[in-house]
Amino acid sequence: MRTAVYPGSFDPVTNGHLDIIERSAKLVDKLIVAVLNNKSKSPLFTVEERVRHLQIATQDFKNVEIMSFSGLLVDFASKVNSNIIIRGLRGVTDFSYEFQMALTNRSLNSDIETLFVSADTQYLFFSSSQVKEIAHFGGNIDNIVPPVVREEIKKKMKDI
């Protein structure tokens, strides 16, 4: 069975992430979306909230599973019997960072390959950080995030 891992912060998940998930899920038997539990970053949503948002937003994709992880990505991939890491590319600005990460991960485990998937052009211009900034100033994020994030980000913004 071919399993791929799509790791990220997903703080919050955007329609760009969902486009990458939909495209990648067609290429493999099972896609594990792996939410990074990174204690050094201070995320808007907890890892449990981010996992739940992804579960709701991907419920129609039958071969997609959401998990969280901490530590080295290559160790997580080995643990779930995957040798494919999926990363999304928005353009040249993502490239140098992503390329460096891919080579670092290969140096840690040469059996694991990183595959880059590009989202549809309509999704290329936004990021989770922009979503948070737009929401913070009361802007409209309806076309950028799934409904569950739309609702919950409003509540979060009231609390902070």
**Which spans of this chain sit near ligand ADP (rule: CB under 6 A)?**
8-10, 14, 16-17, 20, 87-88, 90, 94, 119, 123-124, 126-128
**Is 79 in the active site?**
no
C-alpha R_g of the chain? 15
Q: What is the 3-state secondary structure (H, E, C) of 30-82?
A: EEEEEEECCCCCCCCCCHHHHHHHHHHHCCCCCCEEEEEECCCHHHHHHHCCC
Is 41 in the active site? yes
Closest C-alpha among 145, 159, 154, 158 to residue 19: 145
Q: How far is the CB of 46 from ligand ADP (least distance, A)?
A: 15
CB-closest chain residue to ligand ADP: 16
Is 128 assigned a catalytic role? yes
Active-site choice (9, 17, 50, 132)? 17
Among 23, 30, 90, 106, which one carries the catalytic annotation? 90
Closer residue to ligand ADP (CB): 10 or 76:
10
Residue numbers annotated as active site: 17, 41, 90, 128
